[in-house]
Structure 1
């Protein structure tokens, strides 16, 4: 059919439909088959599920390589690696959120599942806006590059600040403008309860689980400010940008349950990520002023993979005697 061959953001509509169908199938399989019941997800199951999502992302990259060529394939894998690595910081912050709201592990997968659905929509909006800006005003890539360099340098040299959720402006705003229950009500985001003690009139109340969901979405929005410019610095193809982002994020829920107790073992990875962000930001300027065009995709993938691998190995070696965090 002609409609399937219609170009949408530079790619035939059937490619976008195939990608979205695959994502939908993975989400239905995750929620409808693997997690039909509220139960704590064990470490072994989490590792298997995380490996499954990583394999799905890598296989999709092979399909991209086959359909769009080696350069597009390497760009996809570079973006996938960067987004997957940045998601480790998400794991740490999400762990703090669940601890703050005292969310049992049996209910955490529900928050993360709906959080990922929100991420799919938010990333689509951000990437769509980014693609439009870059298409209309190429110089915005230099802003992305400068921002990534500054972000990387900040990660390298500035000390980490304490994360105090009680002082978060968004959380305080939600608590002021919503009726929020004092405790969880199983896995419900909203419940109908009396408007006040002794009243027969019932109204909708938000639960702490809903506040946790809002904070998870906020965390992704904050991290997307780094990851979206990073992938645009690699390629301006919206299809590569979006698919690499989403396939990396799809496994975040499984990754969280697999790594939440040992995330401290990856402390030094942030320095490798900082160097990656500086390199990716510099790529824009190197491509235009040194390489007389784009930096070769093979070089980008090799440097990114090398830095991240070194960060992981060094972190595991330095923290080899550190006990597992208590959950």
Structure 2
């Protein structure tokens, strides 16, 4: 356990340092983030995520302090890794384990990063509906990302504990993901709308706290006659956190279909969340061009859910995590290419 805590603690320290650097580059006063800056930071976060994959490839066994066959077999059984080791060769067995761990991490990262794109659709809508000036986007997203990390950390380790105690819950997750994917496909062309006055989070905040609908620069709270009021900037932050909580209900079960190791779930999830803010500024003005992406995400959720439901049967057929990675990348690639090759026709009104 000490090795796991040290590995986990080192990861958290690294993330805090990188987040501080990221915020230092982004948050120089209240001004819009340029496409160039967003592209640079998006690239940096992806490279760090890939570099962490290399760490797992060479030293992944250190995460669970695996230095003998008995410990290796214990961890494989505990986290349901679908691999065959060579009991007479510890070095080769650890290499097989580390390679599988890396593939699980990368597959989980791709899934979470792809599902994060759906968050961007909603964030654009929320900022527009609440009338938030573009120069304040980054401030809201800074605190939104920090809140998302804390919430997902709780979700992931609670989910892992539930799976360890109630194995059948994976089938519940699988059925839920299939339902969500089908529902997303059916409603793919539905125009989403947000009514700031009647949103459940805004209603809750208005009921129990003082709320003003006037902006006060980039402040979350406005002080008037000694009374502190929530501004629209703080309200949209609350709505974004609530929305991320809803998305986590889809994304976290999805990644548990890839790996049952809670640490790998956490690592891949957090790298995807950290890259979300820069990706938002990168895609905010072109996200509408990828109109088939929701269809791709719908198929992605159905595939992941079906994989959870048919896990035992697929395992008998020799279906590995690498096959999941290939299918997932294929679904996303097809949806992106289709969006570019067959652009959405604009509605022309006279």
Q: TM-score, normalised by structure 2?
A: 0.83
- Give SS of 2:31's match: coil
Change (3 A) 1:283 1:173: same
1:171 aligns with 2:215: no
Q: Could you tell me how far 1:292 is from its partner in structure 2?
A: 2.9
In the alignment, which of 14, 22, 35 is matched to residue 14 of structure 2? 22
Task: Name which of 122, 125, 130 aligns with 2:151.
Answer: 122
2:192 counterpart (162, 170, 173): 162
Structure 1 partner of 2:161: 132
Alpha-carbon shift at residue 67 of structure 1 (Å): 2.2
Kindly tell me the number of residue pairs found equivalent between the two proteins: 308
State the secondary structure of the residue aligned to 2:228. strand
Q: Does 1:53 align with 2:49?
A: no
Please give the secondary structure, in 2, of the residue aligned with 1:205: strand
TM-score, L = length of structure 1: 0.89
Which of 225, 229, 232 pairs up with 2:249? 225
Gaps of 5+ in 1: 195-201
Structure 2 spans left out of the alignment, 5+ residues: 61-97
Q: Extract structure 1 runs of 4+ deviating beyond 4 A.
A: 320-323
Counterpart-to-counterpart distance in 1, 2:240 and 2:230: 16
Structure 1 pair 20–222 and aligned structure 2 pair: CA distance change class (3 A):
same
Of 145-154 and 109-118, more deviation after overlay is shown by: 145-154
Shift of 1:320: 7.6
Listed as ranges, the matches of 1:59-138 within 5 Å are: 59-68=51-60, 69-138=98-167
Shift of 1:248: 0.5
**CA shift for structure 1 position 295:** 3.5
1:124 deviation in Å?
0.6
Cα distance in 2 between the residues matched to 1:290 and 1:38: 51
Alignment of 1:1-327 (within 5 A): 6=2, 12-68=4-60, 69-159=98-188, 160=190, 162-166=192-196, 167-194=198-225, 202-292=226-316, 295-319=319-343
